[in-house]
């Protein structure tokens, strides 16, 4: 007889991304739910992976990542944020940003510690905090501006606060933090033992001339921070699951203790290929803002005349649409109904909250080819 297993994650079910993608497939609906591009990764990158596989790069990579890739990451950080990070002791390649996020939380959070997250929050943070025995403190980013309320943060910080998780550009709202936000965060954590986990997977997807305010631009914050990014987002290859974490050497030592036993090392030929591509094609990530801004603008212009209201997102490849003029249904119900009846799948934003507010938003991913966006626009205008 199988012994009964008391769950360690009672609040966790199958993620909404899996649920909505499966429903979209079952119904033959356009899938604008899960955040992945429906266009290919760069050809030169794919060729580089094949080249390195054929050349024999098929055994375990070094635990912290292929040196050439860590050096390429350090060079990109210097170019983007003017920060000097040591490729050897401060950069760790991980199996997707998700692994890095979980590693950081397991390395930092002790039983009884509190971790502040901002709702709507990416769904992987809280389960990791629970596995570490910590408690998640949810602070709302109030709609429709979704800006952090720094007085609320100051009030929430206490002797048990161990970690603050931030995410800019922000999934699901598409908002981007400003310099003043980072300065306030530095002020509130100054002279404390609090660490920062900065989820910056959309660092290169920022629009209208805005600047991505990486924690790495702020030395005082960077000294207490783990900065996480994802090559999947930057190179249209989410299925490869390769990301990285940058942190001061002493913090990286602890991070690697977890990484070493969660996965040991990340897929080898892809690391070599990414190192080549970053070195040989810096134009790719430099052109990403314009590339995705054009998609955002196309998607938004296709919504002209629809009953959905929105403010164009400032970053990421997600657009929130306010459907309150259309329906009084719960977003979870509407998302399912639109998938079944209208043939378009989205993500209900309430699932990113501990206490969902009354506002009514669905999240649509516009990392899609133009034909998909045209079809989506036609469906949404008809609602
Ligand atoms: C905010 C945020 N963090 C982390 C991740 C995970 O990135 P990866 O696929 O590299 O694990 C995602 C993916 O959607 C995300 O949106």
What confidence tier does 234 reach under pLDDT thresholds 50, 70, 90?
very high
Ligand 1: which of 35, 41, 98 to mutate, judged by most atoms within 8 Å of the beta carbon?
A: 98
Position in ligand 1 atom list of the atom nearest CA 122: 1
DSSP state letters, 35-93: S--SSPPPHHHHHHHHHHHHTT--SPPPTT--HHHHHHHHHHHHHHH-----TTTSEEE
Count the domains in the chain: 2
- Residue 8 resides in a domain: no
Question: From atom 7 of ligand 1, which residue's Cα is the shortest distance away?
Answer: 97
Kindly give, in sequence order, each residue whose CB lies less than 8 Å from that of residue 174, ignoring residues fewer than 6 positions away. 313, 314, 315, 316, 318, 319, 320
Q: Which residues line ligand 1 (CB under 6 A)?
A: 35, 96-98, 122, 167, 171, 199, 201, 230, 232, 238, 241, 243
What confidence tier does 13 reach under pLDDT thresholds 50, 70, 90?
confident
**Tens of pLDDT along 166-192?**
999 999 999 999 999 999 999 999 999
In a shared domain, residues 87 and 118: yes
- Residue 11 resides in a domain: no
- DSSP-derived letter for residue 239 is G
What's the confidence (pLDDT) of residue 359? 84
In a shared domain, residues 25 and 55: no
Task: Calculate how far, in angstroms, residue 230's C-alpha sits from the geometric centre of ligand 1.
Answer: 7
By the 8 A CB rule, do 362 and 331 touch?
Answer: yes
By the 8 A CB rule, do 109 and 132 touch?
Answer: yes
In a shared domain, residues 58 and 186: yes
Percent of the chain surpassing pLDDT 70 = 100
Q: Is the pLDDT of residue 124 over 90?
A: yes
What confidence tier does 14 reach under pLDDT thresholds 50, 70, 90?
confident
The residue from 260, 284, 308 where one domain ends is 284
**Tens of pLDDT along 190-227?**
999 999 999 999 999 999 999 999 999 999 999 999 99
Q: What is the dihedral of CA 15, 21, 26, 31, to 10 degrees?
A: 150
Position in ligand 1 atom list of the atom nearest CA 101: 4
In a shared domain, residues 372 and 248: no
Query: Bigger pLDDT: 81 or 11?
Result: 81
- Residue 6 resides in a domain: no
Position in ligand 1 atom list of the atom nearest CA 98: 11
- Residue 1 resides in a domain: no
Task: Calculate how far, in angstroms, residue 298's C-alpha sits from the geometric centre of ligand 1.
Answer: 24
- Residue 315 resides in a domain: yes
**Tens of pLDDT along 267-297?**
999 999 999 999 999 889 999 999 999 999 9
In a shared domain, residues 160 and 279: yes
Task: Calculate how far, in angstroms, residue 104's C-alpha sits from the geometric centre of ligand 1.
Answer: 14
Separation of alpha carbons 163 and 147, rounded Å: 19
- Residue 49 resides in a domain: yes
Separation of alpha carbons 16 and 22, rounded Å: 10
Separation of alpha carbons 320 and 144, rounded Å: 10
In a shared domain, residues 55 and 111: yes
What's the confidence (pLDDT) of residue 208? 98
Domain holding 373, by residue range, is 16-41+287-381
Task: Calculate how far, in angstroms, residue 307's C-alpha sits from the geometric centre of ligand 1.
Answer: 30
- Residue 7 resides in a domain: no
The residue from 236, 266, 284 where one domain ends is 284
What's the confidence (pLDDT) of residue 281? 94
**H helix and E strand count, the chain:** 15, 12
- Residue 5 resides in a domain: no
Task: Calculate how far, in angstroms, residue 101's C-alpha sits from the geometric centre of ligand 1.
Answer: 9
Task: Calculate how far, in angstroms, residue 58's C-alpha sits from the geometric centre of ligand 1.
Answer: 25
What's the confidence (pLDDT) of residue 18? 87
In a shared domain, residues 266 and 314: no
Residue 72, domain CATH: 3.40.640.10
In a shared domain, residues 127 and 261: yes
Kindly give, in sequence order, each residue whose CB lies less than 8 Å from that of residue 277, ignoring residues fewer than 6 positions away. 42, 44, 45, 48, 235, 284
Task: Calculate how far, in angstroms, residue 98's C-alpha sits from the geometric centre of ligand 1.
Answer: 6
Residue 359, domain CATH: 3.90.1150.10
Tokens for 258?
């977890």
**Tens of pLDDT along 24-34?**
999 999 999 98
> Average pLDDT over the chain, rounded to whole?
96
Question: From atom 13 of ligand 1, which residue's Cα is the shortest distance away?
Answer: 35
**Tens of pLDDT along 39-63?**
999 999 999 999 999 999 999 999 9
In a shared domain, residues 147 and 254: yes
The residue from 284, 309, 331 where one domain ends is 284
**pLDDT (mean) for 140-155:** 96
Q: Is the pLDDT of residue 159 over 90?
A: yes
In a shared domain, residues 315 and 187: no
In a shared domain, residues 106 and 206: yes
What's the confidence (pLDDT) of residue 15? 82
Position in ligand 1 atom list of the atom nearest CA 100: 11
Percent of the chain surpassing pLDDT 90 = 94
What confidence tier does 16 reach under pLDDT thresholds 50, 70, 90?
confident
In a shared domain, residues 124 and 198: yes
For the chain, the C-alpha Rg in angstroms (whole number) is 21
């Amino acid at each position: 007889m199988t012994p009964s297993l008391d769950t360690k994650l009672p609040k966790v079910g199958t993620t909404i991304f899996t649920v909505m993608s499966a429903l979209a497939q079952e119904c033959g609906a356009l899938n604008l739910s899960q955040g992945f591009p429906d266009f290919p990764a760069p050809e030169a990158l794919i060729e580089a992976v094949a080249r390195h596989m054929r050349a024999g790069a098929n055994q375990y990579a070094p635990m912290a990542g292929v040196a050439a890739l860590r050096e390429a990451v350090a060079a990109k950080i210097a170019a983007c944020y003017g920060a000097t990070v040591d490729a050897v002791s401060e950069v760790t390649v991980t199996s997707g940003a998700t692994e890095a996020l979980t590693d950081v939380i397991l390395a930092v959070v002790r039983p009884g510690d509190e971790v502040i997250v901002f709702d709507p929050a990416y769904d992987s943070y809280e389960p990791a905090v629970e596995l570490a025995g910590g408690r998640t403190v949810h602070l709302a980013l109030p709609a429709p501006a979704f800006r952090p309320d720094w007085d609320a943060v100051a009030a929430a910080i206490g002797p048990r606060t161990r970690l603050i998780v931030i995410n800019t550009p922000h999934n699901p709202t598409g908002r981007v933090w400003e310099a003043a936000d980072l300065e306030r965060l530095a002020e509130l954590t100054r002279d404390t033992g609090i660490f920062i986990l900065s989820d910056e997977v959309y660092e290169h997807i920022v629009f209208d001339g805005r600047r991505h305010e990486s924690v790495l631009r702020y030395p005082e914050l960077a000294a207490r921070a783990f900065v996480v990014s994802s090559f999947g987002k930057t190179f249209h290859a989410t299925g490869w699951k390769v990301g990285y974490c940058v942190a001061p050497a002493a913090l990286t030592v602890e991070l690697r203790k977890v990484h070493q036993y969660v996965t040991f090392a990340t897929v080898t030929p892809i690391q070599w290929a990414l190192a080549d591509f970053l070195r040989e094609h810096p134009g790719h990530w430099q052109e990403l803002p314009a590339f995705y801004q054009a998609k955002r603008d196309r998607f938004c212009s296709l919504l002209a005349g629809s009953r959905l209201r929105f403010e164009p997102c400032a970053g990421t490849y997600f657009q929130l649409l306010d459907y309150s003029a259309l329906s009084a249904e719960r977003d979870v119900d509407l998302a399912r109904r639109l998938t079944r009846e209208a043939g378009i799948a989205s993500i209900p934003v309430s699932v990113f909250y501990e206490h969902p507010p009354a506002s009514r938003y669905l999240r649509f991913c516009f990392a899609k080819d133009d034909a998909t966006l045209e079809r989506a626009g036609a469906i949404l205008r008809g609602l």
